[in-house]
Amino acid sequence: MSNSQPAPKDFIRAIVAQDREARKFNGVVHTRFPPEPNGYLHIGHAKSICLNFGIAQEFSGLCNLRFDDTNPAKEDVEYVESIQEDVRWLGFDWQDRCFFASDYFERLYEYAVLLIRKGKAYVDSLTADEIRTYRGTLTEPGKESPYRTRSVEENLDLFSRMRAGGCEEGAHVLRAKIDMASPNINLRDPTLYRVRRVPHHRTGSDWNIYPTYDFAHPLSDSLEGITHSLCTLEFEDHRPLYDWLLDECEMACHSQQIEFARLNLTHTVMSKRKLLELIEEGHVSGWDDPRLPTLMGLRRRGYPPEAIRRFCEHIGVAKRDGVVEVNLLEHFVRETLNANAQRVMAVLRPLRVVLTNYPEGQVEELPAVNNPEDPAMGSRAVPFSRVVYIERDDFREDPPKKYFRLAPGQEVRLRYAYIIQCVNVIRDEQTGEIVEIHCTYDPETKSGSGQSARKVKGTIHWVSATHALEAEVRLFDHLFSVPDPEKDGRDYRTVLNPNSVERLRGCQVEPALQGAVAGQRFQFERQGYFCVDSDSTGQRLVFNRTVALRDSWAKIEKK
RNA sequence: UGGGGGAUCGUCUAGGGGCAAGACAACAGAUUUUGGAUCUGUGAACCCAGGUUCGAUUCCUGGUCCCCCAGCCA
């Protein structure tokens, strides 16, 4: 019964559910994710991937991966491979259904011939400039090309010569014969084929002509039996053409195009062009720079694919265009990492602390919980000794109100260890800089066993100086310092965040991190989630900060 | 002043002739050996104007504002 079904989550699922119930397409649901292999995927694509694969899953259907490789001048196998890797990483499986529009070139050509025979397409020999002029404007109708009335025979002959390689690029194009006066510019005899004397990454030099998106897309959808062809809003105007082509080519399957709003995120840019500019101008290091919204970048940054999926589920699908705040994405990253990231202690900006009453040479192995959210993750031993490092931020000579950390005379708990009290501050005689602090520890307050009634307000993280591993840590922040980098048409480069990355060397991390491999994710207690960077080696650990923990102290201090 | 789409808390998304719901963010409190997590609570919205109606955010009419389209890109 339909009333036992949960309400559809969005208008597209509502349509799909209705179609399935009405047995449209025989009750089958078949979608596709159709990237052009001319760049790398970003989180905007993730929305489409989750939508298409998600709907297929929910409606017991299938989702194809199809490369829209109709423009050899811009495309490359390198992109094909990276796109496949990204889709897999996101957690989706196209099984044996990875297709290419180029797989259909021969059939597409035959459909073009069919259109010519029906008098629905013609070879135009106007120049690109002339075609533009003839097209008219938004408010004025276009003019018909003088070549529009060529005979079927002449068109057939010309078109086959275009294919055979007898003409220069731009000499001719194949156009649909629709309506030069249409208020919808896409219907003013759109181009179906153009001459391109460029080798294609899959078909080599087999072809001298290539179909346009407008021609190839609907036919590819139909050939694959795609029932619901989901795309972004800017293709809304193309739908009449999409339908016209399926009708005129007499396709057995009339796929249904449905448009939804693309994803926009605050504090970043999403277009391939701008992403490329950021890379080429050296503002970021490459497509996998952890500050970029590319899937490669997010992966390197440490974002779990599950977090991205949850985010995409959560933002929903609608037709109004808007901008999602990045903090929503970050929320899902924290939420998933909180549940499964191993906790570890790491001191980013070390301050030496000597426990003057702790026996020289003594080492204790203190048990530490790996993840309080998940007891199954067990515990580990953390070495403790007379000299430890704490965070410089965790000591203040003049502590503000409500500062629950270390200060002269004040007490604080070292996580999983003892309560210590600051008794002395040692500074560099020249610079006056604090070089180390002396504390005493209270042996009665050992974590767990002690049961000391004594409570302190603060607990800070630390690492044993003799046992710590040195590491480099890269702290990332938003690439842009404002939510909408392109507001009022300004150049987004003018609002790049100068502090979007901070490299910290000489960080001291817990020995449990020995041997951590690239991609492994941790929570550095009290600081955030970090992931081992691909620059990391056995000798030199490098971490990326995925996202900081929520910091309510920072808020208090701001006031 | 062509055509196509859209307008609900700060943000995203529901709903739909009769109390406008959720999430993030914000704020307040509880709790806490992570100032994390968790829990509780608070504030916060139907673009405007008319009309129909007992009643309109929803239906109708007219506006306003925003987005997209003049590639041989997708």
> How many Å does it take to go from CA A451 to C1' B42?
38
Establish whether the CB of A413 is closer than 7 Å to any nucleic acid atom in strand B.
Answer: yes
| pLDDT reported for residue A452 | 59
Q: What pLDDT is recorded for position A450?
A: 59
Which chain A residues 90-109 have CB under 7 A to strand B? none
Which value does ipTM take for this structure?
Answer: 0.97
Q: What is the per-residue pLDDT across A254-270, written as a single tens digit (0 to 9) for each?
A: 999 999 999 999 999 99
Higher-pLDDT residue of A311 and A539 is A311
* pLDDT for residue A559: 72
**For A317 and B18, how far is CA from C1' in angstroms?**
29
Per the prediction, chain A carries an average pLDDT of 96
Residues paired with residue A442 on neighbouring β-strands, in sequence order: A419
Contact present, A508 and A438 (Cβ < 8 Å): no
Task: Please identify residues in chain A, positions 124-143, with a C-beta within 7 angstroms of any atom of strand B.
Answer: 126-128, 131-132, 135-139
Confidence of residue A23 (pLDDT cuts 50, 70, 90): very high
**A412: Cβ contacts below 8 Å, ≥ 6 apart:** A394, A404, A405, A406, A419, A420, A456, A458, A459, A460
Give the other-Cβ count within 10 Å of A176's Cβ: 24
> What pLDDT, on a 0 to 100 scale, did the predictor assign at position A488?
83
According to the model, what pLDDT value does residue A493 have? 95
For residue A2, what pLDDT is reported? 37
What average pLDDT does this structure show over A378-401? Answer: 96
Distance in angstroms: CA A29, C1' B19: 39
What sections of A76-148 are H helices per DSSP? Answer: 77-90, 105-117, 128-134
Using one digit for the tens of pLDDT, what is the confidence trace for A193-251? 999 999 999 999 999 999 999 999 999 999 999 999 999 999 999 999 999 999 999 99
Enter the tokens of residue A269.
């840019």
pTM: 0.96
According to the model, what pLDDT value does residue A1 have? 34
- pLDDT band at residue A3, thresholds of 50, 70 and 90? very low
Taking C1' of B74 and every protein CA, the nearest residue is A213
Element (H, E) at A241: helix A239-248
Does A147 contact strand B, using a CB cutoff of 7 Å?
A: no
List of A residues 519-548 with CB within 7 A of strand B: 523, 525-526
Å separating the CA of residue A438 from the C1' of nucleotide B5:
68
For A93-130, write each residue's pLDDT tens digit. 999 999 999 999 999 999 999 999 999 999 999 999 99
Share of chain A above pLDDT 70, in %: 98
Please give residues of chain A from 307 to 326 whose alpha-adjacent beta carbon (CB) lies under 7 Å from any atom of strand B. Answer: 314-325
pLDDT digit string (tens) for A447-492? Answer: 876 555 678 999 999 999 999 999 999 999 999 999 999 988 889 9
- Pairwise CA distance, residues A349 & A499, whole Å: 17
